[in-house]
Amino acid sequence: MLILGIDTSGRNGSVCLAQTGSSFEVLENVPLSGGTYSAQLIPALMSMLQKHGRKKSDLKAYAVASGPGSFTGLRVGLSAVKGLAEILPGPIASVSVLEALAAASHEDGRVITVLDAARKEVYVGEYDVTGGKAAMVRESLMTQTDFAHLLEHNSSAQLITPDADLAELARFHMRVMQVERPQAGEYACLGWLKIQEGQVVGPDLLEANYIRRSDAEIFAKKD
């Protein structure tokens, strides 16, 4: 099975082709520059297919980073998957960025993942990891003050983040693993696991996991 993996959640993203069989293998992972995802994504996909002697019709499944992250970036990635899956049907796995970070843990137990959300806020994921699988407890948007309180009351947990400042803050309270942001290949791998377990969604129900409301919603005037 040929799987397309897409991540357009951050300042920079990536797209990959992966195949499954006796094992999972990323054929190629191509970086995408933030701000021009819509112009790069499909050409990058077509170039990879040609390079590896594949056709669009060979795509059989999709895995996409659903957020939290850039509102515009996420819409590009999700719209691409929706459009492709309408024409080339296949199961779609939606993967939270916070979940992908939790999957980096090599220990069982409570894992807290965190991303800088700007505006003195953070995106926080709380997961229970067992046997390499991360089960979500909750995901939320927190003020930095509330996040500090969470750290104080979870000293036995492990924190995973790509943000150096947040990693430094948490080191006073718990074990910390600072990692690179997950790339499309990691979303494809997690997506394949979800697909095997039946955790899939159709194109019409694929939605972004924004966590935070958009500015348009926040500042909209009430009638």
pLDDT tens digits for range 47-67? 999 999 999 999 999 999 999
Query: Both 139 and 192 in a single domain?
Result: no
Confidence check: pLDDT of 18 > 60? yes
Shared-domain flag, residues 166 and 111: yes
**What is the Cα–Cα distance from 155 to 166, expressed in whole angstroms?**
15
Phi, psi angles (nearest 5°) of residue 39: -85, -25
Which letter, b or e, does each residue of 129-139 get, where b requires 16 or more Cβ atoms within 10 Å of its Cβ? beeeebeeeeb
- Kindly state the helix (H) or strand (E) to which residue 43 belongs, with its residue range: helix 37-51
Structure tokens given for 98: 């916070």
Structural domain that includes position 174 = 104-178
What pLDDT, on the 0 to 100 scale, is given for residue 22?
84
Please check whether residues 47 and 121 belong to one and the same domain.
Answer: no
27: phi then psi, degrees, rounded to nearest 5: -75, -40
Tell me the backbone φ, ψ of residue 19, rounded to 5 degrees.
Answer: -130, 150
Work out the pLDDT band at 221, boundaries 50, 70, 90.
Answer: low
pLDDT at residue 220 tops 60: no
CATH of the domain at 15: 3.30.420.40
- One domain for residues 72 and 49: yes
Residue 86: alpha-carbon gap to chain centroid: 22
Averaged confidence pLDDT in the chain:
94
pLDDT tens by residue, 128-183: 999 888 999 999 999 999 999 999 999 999 999 999 999 999 999 999 999 999 99
> What percent of the chain clears pLDDT 70, i.e. is strictly above it?
95
| Same domain flag for 125 and 28 | no
Q: Give residue 222's pLDDT band: very low, low, confident or very high (50, 70, 90).
A: low
Residues 122 and 169 in one domain: yes
The rounded distance, in Å, linking the Cα atoms of 183 and 20 is: 18
**pLDDT over 70 at 218, yes or no:** no
- Beta strands 158-161 and 109-116: pairing type? parallel
pLDDT at 219: 46
* Predicted pLDDT at 131: 87
Q: Which residue in 93, 147, 82 sits closest to 117, CA to CA?
A: 147
Domain count for the chain: 2
Please write the tens of the pLDDT for every residue from 67-76.
Answer: 999 999 999 9
Please give the structure tokens belonging to residue 163.
């943000």
Cα-Cα end-to-end distance for the chain:
51
| 87 and 124, same domain (yes or no) | no
Are 182 and 97 in contact by the 8 Å Cβ rule? The answer is: yes
Q: Are residues 114 and 69 in the same domain?
A: no
